[in-house]
Chain A
């Protein structure tokens, strides 16, 4: 445990004790990530060790996003990672008794593993995986779509470690008729109804069997932070982040498309055929979102920079394209009339975001916007205006813009 981590852990224990107005018994042996129930509605910045510039969208359930400039790190630290909760974070987490059960119509036999078995019996793999909320950018849709009004910061790329889901499924043994996997977690429904799941989504079996699809127990080399799924999270990078179930204790292998909460109806679905803004779309005409679309963000400088005439401006950021790689990133300083290319790095592994940068010369003083747009390996580019309207406000990958003044 490094010094900073130690400090953070101690700080949060002190905070807990202060807020509860009492000393915490056994504070030293309190497992990482565990929070007393009394804590579930306290200051989220302290509770989840988040940067003060993170933006709180909702406090019940917890939903918080980054601002573009906070995401400048190549690997997103926990303090700058967006939080998306559908229900209540589990209150009493005991790592020593945590188990994961693999069940469903398409397993040879149901099997349960302790956390310790998952960590020791299977090979550990690490990947940088981009997780973006399907509703990132929802705030721009017109007519508006209900839900958390994410702007640009519901995306992250951390380094996740754990076992491959594929290795787990091979150990359990699955039938040829498997088409989908679904997860269940220990978070609880907002209404308090124990018979309702806050969310239970999943991915097609082909995605489940990919090398990068993990049952993760570490993020950035540490136990997964509480808000991000401690102690166990399914991580399926490139898909809507809701497919990466948190606090999971069960995986089901299905002989049909998983029909858990928020897999059906209109949730995480878009119209199969494009519709006019504001159209009503029946459930039958909505299709499940799989790979997220190509997108990029400018993480430096922060929007609003004033620079002296004649100075070259360095810009940098990240680009990603769901299941695909990004082939190029361009920028424009004249509202999309002309585009110049940025330099773009290869991904450190498949499904990791790629870093771009360039130097910009501005021709004269005045107000500018720097726009960035990425192109995926198949030639699809980000649009400059909003892409197809959809009832739930998903998949807004319109190009990111920052404002610059040259004086």
Chain B
């Protein structure tokens, strides 16, 4: 079984190369995650080291700007506060201004346009009128 000409041994060697490559990819990914998500917080004077919160992309719609939104908008509150809300571009901008004026949100610089583009595109209001039809009814037989 230890001879290199053994086909099983060749398969094993091939697998170990594949595992190594996969391992490197995962490692590179971790470095990338650190660089994009963790590092900016460590440089921020708003969030102290003990309070580092991993950006929460959970539930944010896939799309251009998602990471920027996650990085800037989920440090204090969770992504759920974004995903349950709907607003026009102006409405989202008003929320940002309110958070900057009263909730310690930092200046967003060039990222503000990216964030507003994302929110306007994926979290725009739908017309609901004065009363919607009952939706998502889970029908069940009521026992006597």
Using a CB–CB distance below 8 Å, which chain A residues touch chain B? 56-61, 140-144, 146-149, 189-193, 196, 301-307, 311, 313, 369, 384-386, 398, 401-403, 405
Contact = CB atoms under 8 A, between A and B. Distances in A.
A25 B91 CA distance: 49
B16 interface: no
25 contacts: A57-B84, A58-B84, A60-B76, A60-B78, A140-B128, A142-B130, A143-B91, A144-B85, A144-B87, A144-B125, A146-B95, A148-B81, A149-B84, A190-B77, A191-B46, A191-B104, A191-B105, A192-B76, A196-B103, A301-B142, A304-B139, A386-B131, A402-B134, A403-B134, A405-B139
B110 interface: no
B137 interface: yes
Contacts of B144: 311
B64 interface: no
A385 B129 CA distance: 9
Nearest to B134: A403
Nearest to B76: A190
A385 B131 contact: yes
Interface string B70-111: 000010111011001111100100010000000111000000
Interface string B103-140: 11100000000000000000001011111101001111
Given A303-B138, A305-B140, A305-B141, 15 more contacts: A59-B78, A142-B128, A143-B91, A144-B85, A191-B46, A196-B104, A301-B142, A306-B141, A307-B142, A313-B142, A385-B130, A386-B130, A386-B131, A402-B134, A403-B134
B125 A193 contact: no
B85 A147 contact: yes
A402 B131 CA distance: 14
B62 interface: no
Nearest to B81: A58
Contacts of A302: 140
B47 interface: yes
Nearest to A404: B142
Given A60-B78, A192-B51, A306-B139, A149 B127 contact: no
Interface of B: 46-48, 51, 53, 56, 74, 76-78, 80-81, 84-88, 91, 95, 103-105, 125, 127-132, 134, 137-142, 144
Nearest to B54: A41
Contacts of B130: 142, 385-386
A270 B78 CA distance: 27
A140 B130 CA distance: 8
A386 B128 CA distance: 11
A306 B140 contact: yes
Most buried by A among B104, B125, B130, B138: B130
A74 B53 CA distance: 40
A121 to B, nearest CB: 39
Nearest to A398: B131
A58 B47 contact: no
A50 B139 CA distance: 24
Contacts of A56: 80
A64 to B, nearest CB: 11
Contacts of B47: 192
A375 B135 CA distance: 27
